[in-house]
C-alpha cells in the first residue's frame, strides 16, 4: 500500500508540473527585429541621427536602470550628438552572449541583447568599457516603442565630474600623523623593533615594489623582514628628502606621503649606495598605521 501511495504521489506531482508549464511564444536567434537593432546601433556609432531614429516609433517609453520617461522620436538626435564626444567608439555583442528575439503570444515582439560599448571621451581622456543590457519592444508596424537599458552609470558620473574642479580633501604640511611617521623612521634607524611595530595595527598590510602586483604581506611577515634587515645591516639612516604631507581625503581617510634616502653598511663594513624611497602610510581613526607601501628601485639592493 505504501509503495502504491508513493507512486500515486510521484505521478500526481509530475502531472501537476506538466500542467503548470505553458508556452507563451517563440525564441529566435535570428530575426528581422534583431537585424533592425543591430542596424540601429551601427547608425548610432556613425552619428547618423536620422537613420538611428527611423527604427523608433513617434514616441517611445525609455527606461534607464528602472527610471522611465516618454521620449519623442524627434528628440533622439540629442543622444547621438552627445556620443560624438567619443573617439574610437564601437558597439558590439558582448560575446559569448548574443541577442534573442522573443515573439510572445501575450506581450508582443521583443528583442534582448547584451552589448559592449567602447571608446575614449575626448575632453577627459576617460576610456569606457561599458556592458549594456537592452530590451526592445516592437509595435505592429515593426517600430521600437519601448526600450529598457541597464548599465553601471558610474563612468558617466566620472566623466561629468572630471570636467569640473572638485576638491578631494585637505593637505596638511604639519600634522600629528607626520610626527608618527618620523618616530617610526627613527625607531627603524635605531633597530628598535618593539617601538616601530607599536605604530601599526595588528591587521596592518604591507606592500612594496619587490612584491607582485596586488600582493600584500601581514605584520608577522613585516616583523621577520625587519629582523633580517637589522641582522644584516649597520649604520642605518633615513635622511628626509622633501617635505612630507598628510592628506585627509573626502571620507576622513588619512594618508601620509614622505620621501627619504636610505643608507646603511653591511656587517663586513662595505658601504652601500644611497637609495631613494617613497613611503605611503594609511591611518585609522585611532591614529594607527593600517597599511604601508614602499616605492624604490629594487635593483639597488642587487
Q: What would the pLDDT profile of 82-112 be if each residue is shown by its tens digit?
A: 999 999 999 999 999 999 999 999 889 999 9
Structure confidence at residue 13 as a pLDDT band (50, 70, 90): low
Q: Are the beta carbons of 135 and 109 closer than 8 angstroms?
A: no
Q: Are the beta carbons of 192 and 273 closer than 8 angstroms?
A: no
Which of residues 164 and 297 earns the better pLDDT score? 164
Q: Is residue 257's pLDDT more than 90? A: yes
pLDDT at 301: 58
Q: Measuring CA to CA, how many Å separate 36 from each of 26, 97, 101?
A: 18, 18, 11
Hey, what's the cell of 284?
Answer: 585609522
How open is the CA angle 49-55-56, to the nearest 5 degrees?
A: 95
Q: What would the pLDDT profile of 279-289 be if each residue is shown by its tens digit?
A: 999 999 999 99
Q: Are the beta carbons of 295 and 278 closer than 8 angstroms?
A: yes
Q: Is residue 269's pLDDT more than 80? A: no
Q: What is the mean pLDDT of the chain?
A: 90
Q: What would the pLDDT profile of 123-177 be if each residue is shown by its tens digit?
A: 999 999 999 999 999 999 999 999 999 999 999 999 999 999 888 889 999 999 9
Structure confidence at residue 9 as a pLDDT band (50, 70, 90): low
Q: Cα separation of 204 and 220, whole Å?
A: 10
Q: How large a percentage of the chain has pLDDT more than 70?
A: 91
Structure confidence at residue 267 as a pLDDT band (50, 70, 90): confident
Which of residues 297 and 257 earns the better pLDDT score? 257
Q: Is residue 18's pLDDT more than 60? A: no
For the ranges 7-21, 71-85, 164-178, 245-259, the lowest mean pLDDT is seen at 7-21
Amino acid at each position: 500500500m505504501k509503495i502504491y501511495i508513493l507512486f500515486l504521489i510521484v505521478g500526481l506531482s509530475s502531472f501537476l508540473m506538466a500542467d503548470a508549464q505553458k508556452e507563451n511564444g517563440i525564441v529566435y536567434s535570428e530575426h528581422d527585429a534583431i537585424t533592425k537593432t543591430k542596424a540601429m546601433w551601427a547608425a548610432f556609432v556613425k552619428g547618423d541621427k536620422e537613420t538611428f531614429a527611423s527604427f523608433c516609433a513617434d514616441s517611445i517609453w525609455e527606461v534607464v536602470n528602472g527610471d522611465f520617461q516618454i521620449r519623442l522620436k524627434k528628440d533622439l538626435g540629442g543622444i547621438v550628438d552627445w556620443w560624438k564626444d567619443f573617439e574610437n567608439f564601437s558597439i558590439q555583442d558582448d560575446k559569448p552572449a548574443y541577442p534573442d528575439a522573443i515573439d510572445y503570444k501575450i506581450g508582443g515582439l521583443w528583442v534582448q541583447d547584451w552589448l559592449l560599448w567602447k571608446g575614449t571621451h575626448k575632453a577627459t581622456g576617460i576610456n569606457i568599457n561599458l556592458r549594456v543590457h537592452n530590451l526592445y519592444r516592437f509595435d505592429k508596424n515593426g517600430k521600437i516603442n519601448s526600450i529598457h537599458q541597464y548599465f553601471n552609470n558610474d563612468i558617466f558620473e566620472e566623466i561629468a565630474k572630471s570636467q569640473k574642479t572638485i576638491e578631494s580633501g585637505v593637505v596638511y604640511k604639519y600634522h600629528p600623523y607626520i610626527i608618527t611617521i618620523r618616530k617610526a623612521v627613527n625607531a627603524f634607524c635605531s633597530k628598535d623593533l618593539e617601538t616601530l611595530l607599536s605604530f601599526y595595527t595588528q591587521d596592518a598590510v604591507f606592500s612594496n615594489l619587490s612584491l607582485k602586483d596586488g600582493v600584500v604581506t601581514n605584520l608577522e611577515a613585516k616583523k621577520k623582514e625587519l629582523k633580517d634587515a637589522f641582522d644584516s645591516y649597520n649604520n642605518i639612516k633615513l635622511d628626509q628628502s622633501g617635505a612630507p604631507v598628510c592628506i585627509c581625503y573626502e571620507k576622513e581617510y588619512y594618508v601620509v606621503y614622505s620621501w627619504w634616502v636610505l643608507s646603511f653598511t653591511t656587517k663586513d663594513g662595505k658601504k652601500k649606495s644611497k637609495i631613494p624611497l617613497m613611503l605611503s602610510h594609511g591611518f585609522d581613526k585611532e591614529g594607527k598605521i593600517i597599511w604601508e607601501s614602499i616605492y624604490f628601485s629594487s635593483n639597488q639592493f642587487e
